[in-house]
Chains A and B, each alone.
Chain A
Amino acid sequence: MSHSEGALRKAPTGIGGLDDVTGGGLPVGRPTLVCGGPGSGKTLVALSFLVNGVRHFDEPGVLMTFDENAEDLAYDVASLGFDLPELVASGKLIIDYVRIDRSEIEETGEYDLEGLFVRLEQAVRSVGAKRVVLDTIESLFSGLSNENILRAELRRLLRWLKDKELTAVITGERGRDTLTRQGLEEYISDAVILLDHRVHEELSTRRLRIVKYRGSHHGTNEYPFLIDHDGLSVLPVTALGLDHGAPTERVSSGVAPLDAMLGGRGFYRASTVLLSGSAGTGKTSLAASFVNAACARGERCLYFLLEESPQQIIRNMRSIGLDLEQWVGSGLLQMHADRPSRFGLEAHLAGMYRAIEQSSPQAVVVDSITDLMSAGERNSLRAMLVRLIDHLKTQAMTAIFTSLTPGGAELPDSNGGVSSLMDAWVLVSLEQRGLVLHRHIGVLKSRGMPHSNRVYEFTMTEKGIRVPASDAAALGPVES
């Protein structure tokens, strides 16, 4: 088999996102090194590659594990939805548990690791394996003492895997100054993936980086990486780019005065809108009005609640004349309520991605992104929102993000530095005049359309959001 550049074949891992950042998967017929510290998820990445191969790509596999015994392993991965015993019983997966107990081994004279080769070949042949995982082969170094022999045999093993055209994942423990303790990266030069697991302010985040991928274009960032009951995912699920379309169709904001301020026609479809203001200004009411209007148009809508429960929102919005419950009942509206502090940022983003992928809505509301900021560092928030927004745009989904501005500070960069990502920015504020609090709404920006430069007073009534009659006449795209 020839491996000419540009014609590198790839074996999909089936891990959401990883196949995107690798441009299709791991190099076919070659070994890939997956390294990281303890608990970074190396084994799970390797196993997902193997199990998905069997399940989805008709590629039987062999797992040679040097660390855990097969029962423990099966138990650990069962929580991810992998049924190893079943796959083994189906004859498409073989697990060979290699145990090396130094205390019962005496070394005298020359030897090689032909036994390992024999076992691997036997396993590969018996299931017709295309994929092989060696996890973690470095354990050989703690089990056997002749390092020269081990290194020579390791080199021979990697050559053997290539000769057999097996797509292999070899895991390695992160070393102090090297990618792996035993310098496996010297032997495996085709592809190297590094996993990282760190805890910041009590929130754990996982990252994945493609250190090397010979002969292939690949993403070079550190990507958030997630392990949960649905398995593994690497974000972004879609590749980043700025090639999404720019529909000219307009959709109502659900608030007549706001539509009027936007030239009478509302936002562009597939645009992303930031709705910011201090506490009590009516952000959620505006967002809910948008949701209501979207559902009334017959669009599927996904509403991420990070502050209130669905029941609370449904109850509260009745007071401004919105019946959201009917849309939940008809299936057009899905509400996802989660407090972000319960998970890390990545967990949250991944959850949102999944929900979006599953229901493919036309409209999305996140209320609010301020709550997401409490779940991670500001830089990660921005990176995360870039990915989320990109995804929404590619899928032509119109989205509103609400953001809480701390009291007093209206315009400063209190939105996680995300305002530049937004197509439109609507600002709501409170002003005290005498003994009355007055609400104001203004369009700070709205790319690609004339819009009002005036701030209007508005009230929330049981019939919805209204602008006083005196102002209503003046509503228009541009104040002259």
Chain B
Amino acid sequence: MPLLSGRLRVEPVAESLEERTPAETDRFVLRLYIAGQTPKCMRAFTNLKRICEEHLADRYRIEIIDLLQNPQLARGDQILAVPTLVRHLPEPVKKIIGDLSNTERVLVGLDLRPDPI
């Protein structure tokens, strides 16, 4: 499957101009760092896709970076753990590491939900 080839963009396709809301500033630019198609990484991608569809429909963009193919990209975003999800926009930059199996924690990490703690 072409899903995880190098850098892949997954963007929801807007049906019409009217649907291209809210404003560009509200857009989420997310980068998921993986290292090969390991079960952990695949789980992270599936979880991320689902969470985005449910909570960020139409206002997100996911970029997948496979470090096995682009090792030089690990330094820039200070990646240590795999998988790591980096929220580039909106600022500030946030990182969520792990397979994203805990939806609540992911939503907190993305600032879509206040931290209950």
A: residues with CB less than 8 A from B are 96, 98-100, 104-116, 118-119, 121-122, 140, 144
Give which listed residue, A98, A100, A115, contacts B35 with CB less than 8 A: A115
Closest to A105 in B: B95
Provide the bound-state CA to CA distance between A263 and B109, in Å: 90
Residue B94 is within 8 A (CB to CB) of chain A in the complex: yes
Q: Given the interface contacts A115-B35, A118-B35, A118-B74, does A106 sit within 8 Å of B81 by beta carbon? A: no
Is A106 a contact partner of B67 (Cβ separation < 8 A)?
no
A-B residue pair count with CB separations less than 8 angstroms: 96
Return the CB mask of B41-82 against A: 1 if under 8 Å, else 0: 001100000000000000000000001100110110011111
Is A111 a contact partner of B81 (Cβ separation < 8 A)?
yes
Residue B100 is within 8 A (CB to CB) of chain A in the complex: yes
Identify the interface centre among A99, A108, A118: most chain B CB within 10 Å of its CB: A108
Is A107 a contact partner of B98 (Cβ separation < 8 A)?
yes
Is B99 a contact partner of A115 (Cβ separation < 8 A)?
no
Give which listed residue, B78, B94, B105, contacts A107 with CB less than 8 A: B105
Q: Given the interface contacts A105-B95, A106-B95, A109-B99, does A115 sit within 8 Å of B108 by beta carbon? A: no
A156–chain B nearest beta-carbon distance, Å: 13
- Which 7 A-B pairs give the minimum distances between C-beta atoms? A106-B109, A109-B98, A109-B99, A109-B101, A115-B79, A108-B105, A114-B82
Identify the interface centre among A109, A112, A119, A122: most chain B CB within 10 Å of its CB: A109
Closest to A144 in B: B81
Give which listed residue, B74, B82, B96, contacts A105 with CB less than 8 A: B96
Provide the bound-state CA to CA distance between A113 and B80, in Å: 5
- B84 cross-chain contacts in A, Cβ below 8 A: 111, 115
Q: Given the interface contacts A98-B78, A118-B68, does A111 sit within 8 Å of B40 by beta carbon? A: yes
Give which listed residue, A111, A113, A116, A122, contacts B72 with CB less than 8 A: A122
- B72 cross-chain contacts in A, Cβ below 8 A: 122
- A121 cross-chain contacts in B, Cβ below 8 A: 71
A353–chain B nearest beta-carbon distance, Å: 42
Q: A106-B96, A107-B98, A114-B82 are in contact. List 4 more A-B contacts (CB 8 A).
A: A108-B109, A109-B98, A119-B79, A121-B71
Give which listed residue, A105, A111, A122, contacts B71 with CB less than 8 A: A122
Q: Given the interface contacts A115-B33, A116-B80, does A108 sit within 8 Å of B74 by beta carbon? A: no
Provide the bound-state CA to CA distance between A105 and B80, in Å: 11
- A115 cross-chain contacts in B, Cβ below 8 A: 33, 35, 67, 74, 79-82, 84
B: residues with CB less than 8 A from A are 33, 35, 40, 43-44, 67-68, 71-72, 74-75, 78-84, 92-102, 105-106, 108-109
- B98 cross-chain contacts in A, Cβ below 8 A: 107-111
A120–chain B nearest beta-carbon distance, Å: 10
Q: Given the interface contacts A104-B92, A106-B97, A118-B74, does A113 sit within 8 Å of B68 by beta carbon? A: no
Q: Given the interface contacts A108-B99, A118-B68, A121-B71, does A99 sit within 8 Å of B81 by beta carbon? A: no
B104–chain A nearest beta-carbon distance, Å: 8
Identify the interface centre among B43, B68, B79: most chain A CB within 10 Å of its CB: B79
Closest to B39 in A: A110
Is A106 a contact partner of B82 (Cβ separation < 8 A)?
no
- B43 cross-chain contacts in A, Cβ below 8 A: 109
A397–chain B nearest beta-carbon distance, Å: 53
- B97 cross-chain contacts in A, Cβ below 8 A: 105-108, 111, 144
- B99 cross-chain contacts in A, Cβ below 8 A: 108-111
Is B96 a contact partner of A118 (Cβ separation < 8 A)?
no
Closest to B94 in A: A104
Closest to B33 in A: A115
- B44 cross-chain contacts in A, Cβ below 8 A: 109
Provide the bound-state CA to CA distance between A122 and B75, in Å: 10
Closest to B98 in A: A109
Provide the bound-state CA to CA distance between A112 and B41, in Å: 10
A107–chain B nearest beta-carbon distance, Å: 5
Give which listed residue, B35, B75, B83, B95, contacts A104 with CB less than 8 A: B95
Provide the bound-state CA to CA distance between A62 and B98, in Å: 27
Closest to A112 in B: B82
B57–chain A nearest beta-carbon distance, Å: 21
- B94 cross-chain contacts in A, Cβ below 8 A: 104, 106
Give which listed residue, A106, A122, A140, contacts B74 with CB less than 8 A: A122
- B83 cross-chain contacts in A, Cβ below 8 A: 111
Is B80 a contact partner of A108 (Cβ separation < 8 A)?
no
Is A111 a contact partner of B82 (Cβ separation < 8 A)?
yes
Is B100 a contact partner of A108 (Cβ separation < 8 A)?
yes
Q: Given the interface contacts A115-B67, A118-B68, does A99 sit within 8 Å of B78 by beta carbon? A: yes
